[in-house]
């Protein structure tokens, strides 16, 4: 493939899409075209078809998602409509036009019972409505478009929107001690780092034999930890950048009643992705620092 590679990107207002916009500003060989729900509604097949016909992209990158885990428990149809039906619409229409699709999924398709890292062929068994809706999307993409890459990622954080790190820094500004669950284990992943990997992946997929590369892959930062350990790292990095913050202490998930059950251990193995495309993530301290420095400087509440 020669010239600029055009990528249609859904979910313009999400943190991963905004992170990709930052990356795209320095990727002259890639033309990322971002769309929100007002300009491309993935839940409507005609909207998908019209935009794909008009843009004629080389790739479709589906970042549109319903990601509010607790709200999905209350409104499962809303989550399924975006994460399941929407993904299927994009996959089917891109397939008709012989356009590959890259689709983002989640570690929450697993139940968290496995003690070792999950590989792509492990049995899926989501324990909440959000995970069920994302699994439906995976299945639709895999079935409807033979040129597909499904990427399961985990625990995204970024300078954009609401996420664990932005919440933690806001709560830490009060100076009070924070209780963070220490029995949930996963792969905290900077959306900025993931966006860089997505741009690199598009470049690698430009001239591949899709019969060899289509499938499901895990793509997340390779250092697993508990949410408590993650919080301590964030507080430590924040302290080095901005001075003393607050203390965090360990807690159990059972102490916090939430509408949606969270799987306790969803550590992902990235071996398949590493072997196919190579894995390029910096140490988590560097990732956290990059995100924190892109956020407004935290201000401690007056006492």
Distances (CA, A) of 94 to 109, 143, 145: 24, 13, 7
Q: Is 130 a catalytic residue?
A: yes
Per-residue tokens: 159: 């300078």
Q: What is the dihedral of CA 123, 109, 166, 282, to 10 degrees?
A: 40
66, 108, 118, 130: the catalytic one is 130
Say how many C-beta atoms besides its own lie within 10 A of residue 21's C-beta.
15
SS3 call for 123: coil
- Whether 105 and 151 have beta carbons less than 8 Å apart is answered as yes
Rounded Cα distance between 163 and 280, Å, is 23
Helix intervals (H) in the chain: 15-24, 45-55, 69-74, 76-80, 87-96, 129-144, 164-172, 191-204, 210-213, 227-242, 271-277, 284-294
Enzyme catalytic residues: 130
């Amino acid at each position: 493939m020669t010239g600029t590679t055009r990528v249609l990107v859904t979910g313009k207002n999400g943190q991963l899409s905004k992170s990709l916009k930052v990356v795209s500003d320095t990727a002259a060989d890639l033309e990322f075209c971002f769309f929100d729900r007002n300009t491309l509604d993935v839940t409507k097949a005609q909207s998908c078809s019209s935009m794909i016909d008009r843009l004629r992209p080389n790739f479709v990158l589906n970042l549109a998602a319903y990601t509010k885990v607790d709200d999905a428990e209350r409104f499962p149809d809303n989550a399924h409509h975006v994460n399941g039906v929407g993904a299927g619409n994009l996959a089917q229409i891109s397939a008709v036009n012989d356009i590959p699709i890259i689709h983002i999924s989640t570690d929450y398709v697993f139940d968290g019972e496995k003690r070792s890292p999950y590989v792509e062929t492990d049995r899926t068994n989501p324990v909440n409505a959000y995970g069920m809706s994302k699994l439906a999307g995976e299945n639709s993409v895999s079935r409807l478009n033979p040129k597909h890459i499904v990427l399961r990622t985990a625990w995204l954080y970024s300078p954009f929107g609401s996420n664990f790190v932005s919440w933690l820094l806001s709560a830490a500004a009060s100076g009070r001690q924070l209780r963070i669950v220490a029995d949930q284990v996963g792969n905290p992943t900077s959306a900025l780092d993931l966006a860089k990997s997505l741009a690199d992946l598009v470049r690698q997929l430009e001239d591949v034999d899709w019969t060899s590369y289509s499938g499901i892959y895990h793509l997340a930062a390779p250092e697993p930890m508990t949410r408590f350990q993650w919080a301590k790292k964030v507080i430590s990095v924040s302290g080095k950048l901005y001075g003393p913050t607050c203390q965090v202490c360990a807690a159990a998930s059972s102490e916090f009643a939430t509408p949606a059950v969270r799987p306790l251990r969803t550590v992902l193995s990235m071996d398949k992705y590493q072997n196919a495309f190579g894995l390029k993530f910096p140490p988590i301290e560097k990732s956290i620092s990059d995100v924190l420095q892109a956020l407004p400087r935290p201000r401690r509440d007056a006492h």
